[in-house]
C-alpha cells in the first residue's frame, strides 16, 4: 500500500511539474512578444526596490489594516511552504515527518510557528472575504472587476482557507495517532491543532488514519493545484512582483521616455550634436498600437498586476467619472497577450488576427482622459507603471494616425511654431504684465 502511494504521489508531482513548466514557458513567450529593453541605472537601487517593495511589502503599509492582514498571508505563504518540502520527501520516500527525528525539540517550535501562521492566514482570508463581499469595498466592484476577476479573488481566498484548515486537521489527528502507533513521530503538543483534538479523539484508529491521510493528500495536492492555478490568476503577482520591482523605472516619476530616433532627428535639425547608434536603427512604429510595440517590461508588469485597484482609486480622471481605469489598462494588456499567445500556440494568426490592443481592448476615450499625473504609479504597491502604456498608445494615435483631439492638435502646432502651448510669439508672451 505504501509503495502504491509513493507511485501515485510521483505521478501527481510529475503531472503538476509538467503543467507548471508548460505554463511558465507560455508566459515567458508571451512577454517576449514585446520589444527588448536594456536595463540602465544602478543595479544596487534595483535590488533595493526588490527587497523593500516586493519582499518587504513597503508600499503596502500606506493602509495599515489590509497591509497587516496581507503581510500575514504573504509570510504564511513563504514559511508554511517550507513544510511542503517535508511533504514532498515523505511522499516520494514513503516516510512520515522525516525531519522530526533530526530536529528534535526544534521541530515542535517550527510546527507551532507554522500553525500560528496558518491560523493568521485563515483569519486574514475571512476578513478579506468580508471586505470584498459584505462591506463591498468600492475598488473591488468596478466595471472591469465583474465576472471572472471578482470570482478569481474570492476563489483564491476560499482555497487558501481550506488548505489552512487541512493543515490543522492533519496535525490534530496526527497527535492522537502518536499515542497509538510508533509509526507517527512525536511532534510534541501543537497549540492550535490541539484545540481540535476533542473532535477526533473518540474515533477509532482506522478512521483517524483515513482523516490524517486525506488531509495530507488534500493539502499537498491542493498546494500543487494552487501553484498551477496561480499561473492563470491575478495571484501570479506572488512570483512576478520580484522581477517587476527589480526592472521598474528608476527615473523620477515625472520622467517620460523619449524616442532616441526622433530625438536625434530633432537635434540634427537644430544643429545640435547627436549620438548615432552603433548600428542603424529603423524608426519603426511611433508609439504602440498592439502588445508587440510595448516593451517586455511593460508586458511583464501586466502579469504582475495584483488587480488591487489602488491605482484606479487614486486616479483623478477616474474619480471625476471618466472611463479611464489604470487597473483596466494592465488587465487589458494581459488579456491581449493571452489571446495572442493562445493563437500562436494553436497555429492561429497571432498578432494578425484583425484585433489590436488599441481600439479593441483600450479605447481612445480612456487614454485621452489620462492627465499624466503619475498618481497610479505612486499608488501601485509593486511599482507597476500603467502610465507608460497609456503614453505609448497616445503617442501612436498622435504620430501615426494624427487622431488626437482637435484642441490637442492646436497645442502641438503652437509648440512646433511658437515653442509653447499658446499661440503667441516668445516676444509677445509677457505682454499681459504691462496692463
**Of the candidates 190, 212, 245, which is a domain's last residue?**
245
**Are 327 and 391 within one domain?**
yes
**Are 197 and 295 within one domain?**
no
DSSP string across 116-157:
HHHHHHHHHHHHHHHHHHTS--GGGSSGGGTTHHHHHHHHHH
Q: What is the pLDDT of residue 172?
A: 96
Q: What is the pLDDT of residue 78?
A: 83
Q: What is the pLDDT of residue 322?
A: 96
- pLDDT band with cut points at 50, 70 and 90 for residue 177: very high
Q: What is the pLDDT of residue 277?
A: 59
Identify the domain containing residue 144 by its residue range.
63-245
Q: Express each pLDDT in 271-296 by its tens digit.
A: 787 766 555 555 578 999 999 999 99
Q: Count Cβ atoms within 10 A of the Cβ of residue 27 and give its class: 0-12 exposed, 13-18 middle, 19 or more buried.
A: buried
What does the pLDDT average to over 153-157?
A: 95
DSSP state letter for 247: H
**Are 232 and 364 within one domain?**
no
User: Domain total for the chain?
Assistant: 2
The CATH number of the domain holding residue 379 is: 1.10.1060
The verdict on residue 48 lying in a domain is: no
**Are 230 and 377 within one domain?**
no
What does the pLDDT average to over 82-108?
A: 92
Q: What is the pLDDT of residue 160?
A: 94
The verdict on residue 130 lying in a domain is: yes
DSSP string across 37-78:
----S-HHHHHHHIIIIIIS-GGGGGSHHHHHHHHHHHHHHH
The verdict on residue 18 lying in a domain is: no
Q: Which one is predicted more confidently, 215 or 81?
A: 215
Work out the number of other CB atoms within 10 angstroms of the CB of residue 211. Answer: 20
What does the pLDDT average to over 296-317?
A: 97
**Are 164 and 219 within one domain?**
yes
**Are 82 and 213 within one domain?**
yes
Q: Express each pLDDT in 346-388 by its tens digit.
A: 999 999 999 999 999 999 999 999 999 999 999 999 999 999 9
**Are 196 and 131 within one domain?**
yes
* pTM, 2 dp: 0.91
**Are 221 and 77 within one domain?**
yes
Q: What is the pLDDT of residue 260?
A: 80
- pLDDT band with cut points at 50, 70 and 90 for residue 418: confident
The verdict on residue 107 lying in a domain is: yes
What does the pLDDT average to over 331-335?
A: 98
Q: What is the pLDDT of residue 422?
A: 81
What does the pLDDT average to over 9-33?
A: 97
- Looking at every residue in the chain, the average pLDDT score rounds to 92
The verdict on residue 393 lying in a domain is: yes
Q: For the packed helices 105-133 and 148-178, what is the interaxial angle rounded to 10 degrees?
A: 150
**Are 341 and 207 within one domain?**
no
The verdict on residue 374 lying in a domain is: yes
Q: What is the pLDDT of residue 283?
A: 58
Q: What is the pLDDT of residue 276?
A: 64
**Distances in whole angstroms, Cα of residue 40 to Cα of each of 37, 91, 244, 281, 433:** 9, 45, 15, 19, 45
Rounded distance between C-alpha atoms, residue 209 and residue 180, angstroms:
11
**Are 211 and 301 within one domain?**
no
The verdict on residue 408 lying in a domain is: yes
- pLDDT band with cut points at 50, 70 and 90 for residue 1: low
Q: What is the pLDDT of residue 115?
A: 95
Q: Express each pLDDT in 235-268 by its tens digit.
A: 999 999 999 999 999 999 889 988 887 888 778 7
The verdict on residue 176 lying in a domain is: yes
- Taking CA 39 as the corner, what is the angle to CA 38 and CA 42, rounded to the nearest 5 degrees? 150
Work out the number of other CB atoms within 10 angstroms of the CB of residue 218. Answer: 17
DSSP string across 334-349:
HHHHHHHHHHHHTT--
**Distances in whole angstroms, Cα of residue 83 to Cα of each of 89, 110, 113:** 10, 9, 11
Rounded distance between C-alpha atoms, residue 241 and residue 160, angstroms:
19
**Are 340 and 413 within one domain?**
yes
What does the pLDDT average to over 324-333?
A: 98
Q: What is the pLDDT of residue 33?
A: 97
**Of the candidates 195, 212, 245, which is a domain's last residue?**
245
Q: Express each pLDDT in 36-65 by its tens digit.
A: 998 989 999 999 999 999 999 999 998 899
**Are 177 and 230 within one domain?**
yes
Amino acid at each position: 500500500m505504501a509503495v502504491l502511494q509513493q507511485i501515485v504521489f510521483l505521478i501527481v508531482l510529475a503531472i503538476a511539474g509538467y503543467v507548471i513548466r508548460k505554463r511558465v514557458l507560455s508566459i515567458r513567450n508571451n512577454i517576449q512578444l514585446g520589444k527588448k529593453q536594456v536595463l540602465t541605472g544602478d543595479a544596487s537601487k534595483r535590488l533595493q526596490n526588490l527587497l523593500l517593495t516586493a519582499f518587504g511589502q513597503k508600499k503596502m503599509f500606506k493602509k495599515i489594516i489590509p497591509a497587516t492582514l496581507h503581510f500575514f498571508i504573504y509570510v504564511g505563504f513563504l514559511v508554511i511552504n517550507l513544510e511542503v518540502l517535508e511533504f514532498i520527501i515523505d511522499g516520494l520516500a514513503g516516510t512520515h515527518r522525516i525531519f522530526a527525528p533530526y530536529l528534535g525539540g526544534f521541530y515542535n517550535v517550527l510546527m507551532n510557528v507554522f500553525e500560528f501562521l496558518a491560523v493568521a492566514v485563515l483569519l486574514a482570508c475571512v476578513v478579506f472575504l468580508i471586505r470584498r463581499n459584505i462591506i463591498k469595498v468600492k475598488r473591488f466592484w468596478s466595471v472591469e472587476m465583474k465576472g471572472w476577476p471578482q470570482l478569481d479573488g474570492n476563489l483564491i481566498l476560499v482555497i487558501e482557507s481550506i488548505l489552512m484548515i487541512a493543515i490543522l486537521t492533519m496535525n490534530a489527528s496526527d497527535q492522537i495517532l502518536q499515542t497509538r502507533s510508533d509509526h507517527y513521530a512525536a511532534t510534541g503538543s501543537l497549540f492550535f491543532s490541539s484545540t481540535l483534538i476533542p473532535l477526533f479523539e473518540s474515533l477509532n484508529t482506522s478512521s483517524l488514519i483515513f482523516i490524517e491521510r486525506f488531509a495530507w493528500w488534500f493539502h499537498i495536492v491542493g498546494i500543487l493545484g494552487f501553484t498551477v492555478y496561480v499561473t492563470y490568476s491575478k495571484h501570479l503577482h506572488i512570483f512576478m512582483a520580484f522581477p517587476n520591482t527589480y526592472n521598474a523605472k528608476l527615473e523620477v516619476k515625472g520622467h517620460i521616455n523619449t524616442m532616441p530616433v526622433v530625438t536625434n532627428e530633432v537635434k540634427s535639425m537644430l544643429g545640435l550634436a547627436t549620438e548615432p547608434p552603433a548600428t542603424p536603427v529603423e524608426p519603426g512604429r511611433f508609439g504602440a498600437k498592439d502588445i508587440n510595440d510595448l516593451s517586455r517590461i511593460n508586458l511583464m508588469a501586466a502579469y504582475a498586476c495584483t488587480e488591487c485597484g489602488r491605482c484606479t482609486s487614486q486616479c483623478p480622471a477616474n474619480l471625476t467619472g471618466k472611463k479611464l481605469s489604470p487597473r483596466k489598462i494592465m488587465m487589458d494588456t494581459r488579456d491581449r497577450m493571452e489571446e495572442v499567445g493562445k493563437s500562436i500556440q494553436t497555429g492561429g494568426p497571432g498578432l494578425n488576427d484583425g484585433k489590436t490592443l488599441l481600439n479593441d481592448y483600450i479605447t481612445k476615450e480612456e487614454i485621452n482622459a489620462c492627465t499624466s499625473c503619475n498618481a497610479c504609479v505612486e499608488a501601485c504597491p509593486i511599482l507597476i507603471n500603467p502610465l507608460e502604456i497609456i503614453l505609448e498608445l497616445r503617442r501612436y494615435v498622435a504620430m501615426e494616425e494624427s487622431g488626437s483631439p482637435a484642441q490637442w492638435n492646436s497645442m502641438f502646432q503652437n509648440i512646433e511654431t511658437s515653442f509653447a502651448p499658446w499661440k503667441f510669439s516668445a516676444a509677445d508672451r509677457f505682454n499681459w504684465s504691462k496692463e
